[in-house]
Structure 1
Amino acid sequence: MTDQNPATVVLTGATSGIGAAAAQLLAGSARRLIVHGPEPASAVRPLLDRLRSAGQAEVVYVPADFDRLDDVVALADHVTGTTDQVDVLINNAGRPGAPQRRCSSDGYEATLQTNYLAAVLLTERLLPLVPGTGRVVHVASATHLSTTFDLDDPQLRRRYEPTTAYARSKLALVAHAVREAAHIRPGIVSVHPGVVATSLLHAMFAVRGEPASRGGENVVAAALRADVPSGAYLDERQVAEPAGQVRDATFREDLHRLTTKLLGPWLHRAS
């Protein structure tokens, strides 16, 4: 990846918080910006109007509910029908851990699905469009340093805590980026965008946080900076050491096998 304006960017979770801030920045530089959110287009029309007035980018909006992995497949197919190349894929969509454990429409713990499984599935479906000079960015969290991922209880059936569900979904994202850096040609990184004042933050933590614009800037920097090595975990703008479990190659491979098993029905499914 080079420090230049990307031709086509796909950004999930772009309708609020950090995603909306990143979209505003990218709309001024990208030629085509494909943004995703869970809402119908009519509900986010003011945002789309702002993005279209921010620069020359062609702005395409695709709604999808990551509580349904079929929607992720449909999103990937829509992108494939819109463009033949994705220079940057930013997996930003996320949700806080639910107050009480709940499962997605597909039967998986909902936080794990939205924050991790959906991101991996979208990445796998779009990788054929990402050139070797492209980049995939997983928006993670420093909370991943506070937890471990129990491979024997990936659905948190034994002991559920909202903050644990969130943190370990982000740990899985960081581990995925580290593992995939050795297996795919495009660069792939993960980034903690900062402690940012969003509804997601306030749903779990009693802290104020910084403006969403700062988080958006950190995400865009992770996507476009040429000096960030593939596999890196960024704490805002600095390359940092991820959690110890992430650095365990055996854990990364075991997580990969589990993820492939969970996503199996959707990896090659047509929408």
Structure 2
Amino acid sequence: MTPPSSVPPVSEQTVLITGATDGLGRALAHELAAQGATLILHGRNPRKGQDLLRELRERTGADRFSYELADFSSLKDIGELAGRVLDTHDRLDVLVNNAGIGVELARQESQDGLELTFQVDYLAAYVLSCRLAPLLVRSAPARIVNVSSAGQAPIDFDDVMLERGWDGVQAYCQAKLAQISLTVDLAEQLAGTGVTVNALHPASYMPTKMVVNLFSPQSTVEEGMRHTARLVTDPALAQVSGEYFNRDSRARAGAQAYDPAARARLRELSESLTGVSFPALG
């Protein structure tokens, strides 16, 4: 399949942002709305969602925005979100997998009985990326942007759910490494379709709700938004795929993300846990 040669302007693009009602996601929504994008905004709080829609409509004078409610602690909710997007949109130019939780102080399980951080920070991105890949391919040139972290740790495949040894930092860092592994895998699978897949560490310790209770902020949300928006919109990155960026520079992620055997093991685990197959495209 030959990828299209030109990238449409942002004003002609439809972008799905997960975790759009707070922090980085909210700032990105405002930036892309100002550039004229049509936005599908995800969150898990109806009031915050309606507040965001009202803000964007008032500031732009436009009505190109919709809100999708889904709780990523539920695989059913994640799957239904993907289904609604497929049912109601005939194109999707960018998927921004931004929703996530930070370092938790105690082990929590999702509604599906899985370790919560792994599900929210990684499996949600897996399900949405795999389910929406065919729509992205039909809309190409298109992009998947995974908001990851410089905090990365190898996945312990013997105790992925950390049932034997809970550690909040390990839970967060292995989920982010898994997200980058998915980035590399999808980039290989979608090569030649016109869909690129990249991940980034947007900034260190932005003053978002997942940071302020545990760490002292070191960067601004504006900085992180700017680096994320670049991966969404920069024409110079139209052919760049399978990369991990530390802010605005290409960087090397944790070694496990580049290990084909580890990625295959993660892919098999992800399919087993979610019931969603890796996209048969490429």
**What is the correspondence of 1:242-257 to structure 2 with a 5 Å cutoff?**
242-257=253-268
Query: Which residue does the alignment assign to 2:95?
Result: 89
What are the superposed Cα offsets for residues 67-93 of structure 1, whole Å, 9 maximum, x if unpaired? 001111111122123211100000000
SS at match of 1:191: strand
Closer, same or farther in 2 for the Cα pair 1:239/1:2, shift >3 Å?
A: farther
* Alpha-carbon separation, structure 1, partners of 2:68 and 2:85: 9
Matched, 1:223 2:232: yes
Closer, same or farther in 2 for the Cα pair 1:209/1:82, shift >3 Å?
A: farther
Matched, 1:46 2:51: yes
| Structure 1 range deviating more: 28-37 or 16-25 | 28-37
What are the superposed Cα offsets for residues 17-46 of structure 1, whole Å, 9 maximum, x if unpaired? 000000000112244100001101x34433
Matched, 1:134 2:142: yes
* Alpha-carbon separation, structure 2, partners of 1:9 and 1:165: 29
For residue 163 of structure 1, the aligned residue among 157, 160, 169 is 169
**What is the correspondence of 1:60-139 to structure 2 with a 5 Å cutoff?**
60-130=66-136, 131-139=139-147
Q: Which amino acid aligns with 2:135?
A: L
- In the alignment, is the contact (CA less than 8 A) between 2:49 and 2:67 conserved in 1? no
State the Cα distance separating 1:234 from its structure 2 match. 0.8
Count of residue pairs the alignment pairs up: 263
For residue 9 of structure 2, the aligned residue among 4, 10, 20 is 4
For residue 236 of structure 1, the aligned residue among 247, 260, 263 is 247
* Alpha-carbon separation, structure 1, partners of 2:43 and 2:91: 21
What are the superposed Cα offsets for residues 228-252 of structure 1, whole Å, 9 maximum, x if unpaired? 3110101111111111111212111
* Alpha-carbon separation, structure 2, partners of 1:171 and 1:11: 20
Q: Which amino acid aligns with 1:28?
A: A
What are the superposed Cα offsets for residues 115-139 of structure 1, whole Å, 9 maximum, x if unpaired? 0001110111111211331000110
Matched, 1:150 2:160: no
Closer, same or farther in 2 for the Cα pair 1:267/1:65, shift >3 Å?
A: farther
What is the aligned-residue RMSD (CA, Å)? 1.8
* Alpha-carbon separation, structure 1, partners of 2:257 and 2:168: 21
TM-score after normalising by structure 2:
0.88
Closer, same or farther in 2 for the Cα pair 1:76/1:217, shift >3 Å?
A: same
Matched, 1:24 2:33: no
Q: Which runs of 5+ in 2 are unaligned?
A: 1-5
